[in-house]
Structure 1
Amino acid sequence: FEGSLVETIVSNIVGNVERDQVKKLANKKPEKMEAYDLVLQGLEYHRRSSVSAENNKKALSLFTKATEVDPNYARAHAWKCCSLANNSDWFPDEMPENWMNDAFSSVNKAIDLDPNDPEAHRILGAVKLLFEGDFEKAIFHHEKAIEICPSDTYHIARYAVLLCYLGEPEKAMEQIKRAIRIDPFCSDLVLETEGLCHFVSGDFNSALTSFKKMQIETRTSLFYTAASLQKMGNSEDAQKILKVAQIESGMDNEKFVSSQLFQKETDKSSLSDALEAI
């Protein structure tokens, strides 16, 4: 308990300072501040891209413009890659044939420009996971991001999602508890991931509690809320929530389940069976 308390106190006192210092060291200063401003604007839309497809389109446009304004700004290239991947999820029929090459090129350029950019490592980890199914390299790059910026709860939450996909929800929950100690006023992503940990562990009531704490529902939280309600025998509410999830995301059950990269068939079928039973 004392260790946890000390970690919380120290992170509250120096966490933001440490984060700022690390990022100053890790990220080469943009040659043009206009590019920095464009990335900040893009992030405002990107953070809400799991709620609205149009938000992601705007984010991609801003990140792309930032790379054009300052081709040497690593962070802009990293976020462009992330946004391209999200766009392919929302608009698969609108993507050009070479979009995946563009995504790989963007994140690799980010790493070349700044090998110590935590975002570039996290995004490269996501790319390795999503497009190559390379869990070993995905883990390496997620852990590298946390090593560079240990107080960033966003990286910790993304790493926890990866652990859930690997069928290790207990380890994932340890990461989430650490994120909450660092920032007790946790983000929706941390709460969403906490809910995912509970779902994979089979604690559906706790999963619902986590999702209910979120300020803004996401497609992930909606689908998992519907599945959790179904698991608990509340078919009526499950049906209502699932309808909202499908309408807002434009995804059917099969497409959503395919986006959840569980390595254990039992974890995948637990989700798909619950959704199909609604």
Structure 2
Amino acid sequence: MPTDRIIRFADFELDVERYQLRRAGEQIRLERLPMDLLILLASRHGELISRADIVDRLWHGNPYRDTENGINTAIRKIRIALADDPLKPRHLVTVKGKGYRLDGANFVSTASADAIDPSETPRSHSAVRVLVLPFANLTGDGNQECLCSALADEISATLGALGPDRLRLIARTTAARYRDTAKGIGEIARELKLDYVLEGSLSREGPRARILTRLIRCADEVQIWSRAHEPVSPGALDMLKEVATALAQDLATTLSEQQRSRLARRLPVDPAAHDAYVRGRYFWYRRVHFDAAFCAHHGIDGEDFARSRGYFETALERDPNYALGYAGLSNYYGASVVHGMFSPDDGWPIARALAHSALELDPDLPEAHHALAAVRYFFEWDWARAEAGFKEALRRNPSYPEAHRLYARLLLSAGRRAEGEVEMARAERIDPLAFQGSRAFGMILSGRHEEVVSDYLSPGHMDYSPLAYQVLATAFEVRKLYAQAVDATVEALVRCNLHARAATIRAQWDAGGYDAVLHWYRDDLLARHRSQYTSPLLIAEIYARLAQPDEMFHWLDAALAERSARLCELRMNPWFQPYRPGGRMRKIEQLIGEGRAH
């Protein structure tokens, strides 16, 4: 059906698909809720909308929200944006006791609106944001759940590679959070700032499978496209490829030869192997999005990493030629080292070999390029080749958030702050749920500790992710806000179910202040070092925090000898900042950074 993309009234222009309000060509800033309400009013073509209808559409009838004040505030902000006098309104009219309507609008329809064609989106505009929800299993067979997961996964990966500057797929880790959710499309769209949601279902009639997909425009929750597909191929793998290809060609009617080649070339994967990989990636993501330094320092266990390894190994048992399985295992070994569970020599050489195996099986696999780039960044300290590897991964899949995030760390480490912050922001936009706290993490890497603190202490701050509290603990200590540093540390540990450790740190603070806390940290690390692998970099950090440079440099030399993980980010490490002007620290930085990209 046609859609109203541009709605004009007086000298205003509401671009629904770009989510912009403009006046005489100049964009007018409007917060999300007022914008959603304005689009809703405009989409009714001048019809009256009751307050109950607004509550139902924008809050889904949630009785626990303060919808009365919410509507009043949104209406007031819309009137301010439209320069509309509430006593003599020209555009937004209140019908007392009934509701609201938008008058005087001229609706301009666009052609070919029943498909997303990325080629029609100007490069100067933002990419269209799409979420592929997990497919519903309507077969009555629980064994088909892995196929439903693989369907959404395959379609998301396929569409994400089509038009990186025009079509932005929200990452599958975020999509998985909405499996079996009671939330409606509108609420999901508001949370993730989406333009479209693609949802689907799998059903069977005898031996025939039927896949139904539909595309929802989030601005007004209208279904603008749907297809029922009955694959002719009997194999589950062929069905995945066939549906993904058909859907991509349907949604993007003008594909380049390169895009057609990408669609035609899909790896032979047993769906059960792919399902195991997706599950492994979920647990790997869940742990890797914690602050590695905090995890290693507090000995947060690697249960999630261990579970991810089991799933990746299962994937390779099902299909020994599955390149993604090798890439996943490479990530496991590398991230386990960074989080302090293995020594570099016990992890990185294996990670490197696995990444090479993945590349041999599929030279175009973004995850394989990312895995090898991580080895070159964290272990080999070859910044030029690491940067090239991250760029290769992102060229093949610009919607790959982990590649953006790790590339951001390299850029920040290389002193290219502006570029690094842009990459970190891209990662969070693509995968906002998995990357909660990434902005604060990036600010810490950039040395913007005061901004992190002021953001947290500003009025109205809400609940944060464990990563954010871990980062806040660092920021507060750097700013000498020791009571807050203890609070953030305790909160982070409680969220990691380390209640006993959190209570001990609180007791140390109560008994002797922050100096007692730091000395307890030192004793704890040295005791662990005697019984199990503990990164010498962690011990160097605690001596730096205790202002004991002789011991600090002793352990830094040991870290340099083993090529400790995170040593590549020495220049960004806040604990060593007071010692950077000295010649000894500059020499260490030079040894680490000889291969640094410029």
TM over 0.5: yes
Root-mean-square deviation over aligned CA pairs:
3.9
What is the alpha-carbon distance in structure 2 between the residues aligned to residue 115 and residue 262 of structure 1? 27
- Aligned residues, how many? 263
Would the aligned equivalents of 1:164 and 1:262 in 2 still touch at CA under 8 Å?
no
Where does residue 131 of structure 1 map in the other structure?
Answer: 379
Match of 1:216 in 2: 465
Separation of aligned partners in 1, 2:378 and 2:369? 14
Question: 1:61 & 1:142 partners in 2: Cα distance?
Answer: 26
Point out the more displaced range, 74-83 or 165-174. Answer: 165-174
Structure 2 match to 1:186 = 432
- Amino acid of the structure 2 residue aligned with 1:92: F
Alpha-carbon distance change, 246 to 166 in structure 1, aligned in 2, over 3 angstroms: farther
Shift of 1:178: 4.0
1:85 paired residue number: 334
For residues 62 and 122 of structure 1, what CA distance do their matches in structure 2 show? 20
Gap regions ≥5 residues in structure 1: none
Alignment match, 1:49: 287
- How big is the shift at 1:45? 1.2
Q: Paired residue for 1:60?
A: 309
Q: 2:365 aligns with which of 113, 117, 135?
A: 117
- Residue number in structure 2 paired with 1:30: 268
Q: Report how far residue 264 of structure 1 moved.
A: 5.7
Q: Specify the alignment match of 1:166 in structure 2.
A: 414
1:160-212 Cα deviation digits (max 9, x unpaired): 122122222221112234445x54x72443x54322332243322433548x7
Q: 1:199 aligns with which of 429, 438, 444?
A: 444
Amino acid at match of 2:402: Y
- The one of 222, 230, 235 equivalent to 2:477 is 230
1:6 equivalent to 2:125? Answer: yes
User: What SS does structure 2 have at the residue aligned with 1:103?
Assistant: helix
Whole-Å separation in 2 of the counterparts to 1:148 and 1:107:
16
Per chain length, whose mean CA-contact separation is higher, i.e. which structure has more relative contact order (CA < 8 Å, sep 6+)? 1
Q: Percent identity?
A: 19
1:260 has 2:506 as partner: no
| Pair 1:213–1:7, CA change in 2 (3 A) | farther
- Alignment check: 8 A CA contact 2:286 2:434 kept: no
Q: State the distance in 2 between where 1:31 and 1:186 align.
A: 28
Of 309, 324, 348, which residue of structure 2 is paired with 1:75?
324
CA distance in 2, matches of 1:150, 1:168: 20
Q: CA deviation at 1:75?
A: 0.5
Greater fraction strand:
2
Distance in 2 (CA, whole Å) between partners of 1:128 and 1:213 is 38
| Mapped partners of 2:426, 2:440: distance in 1 | 15
Q: Structure 1 residues 100 and 150, CA, compared in 2 at 3 Å: closer, same or farther?
A: closer
- The separation in 2 between residues aligned to 1:244 and 1:177, in whole angstroms, is 25
Q: Is the 8 A contact 1:207 1:225 kept in 2?
A: yes
Q: Counterpart amino acid of 1:38?
A: A
Distance in 2 separating the partners of 1:259 and 1:67: 27
Cα offset, 1:38, TM superposition: 0.9
- Equivalents in 2 of 1:42, 1:33: separation in Å? 14
Task: Give the whole-Å Cα distance in 2 for the aligned partners of 1:204 and 1:179.
Answer: 21
Larger relative helix fraction: 1
When residues 82 and 216 of structure 1 are mapped into structure 2, their CA distance, relative to the original with a 3 A threshold, is same
**SS of 1:109's equivalent?**
helix
Distance 2:124 2:450 in 1: 28
Contact conserved, 1:165 with 1:261, CA < 8 A, in 2?
no
In structure 2, relative to structure 1, the CA distance for the partners of 1:168 and 1:91 (3 Å cut) is same
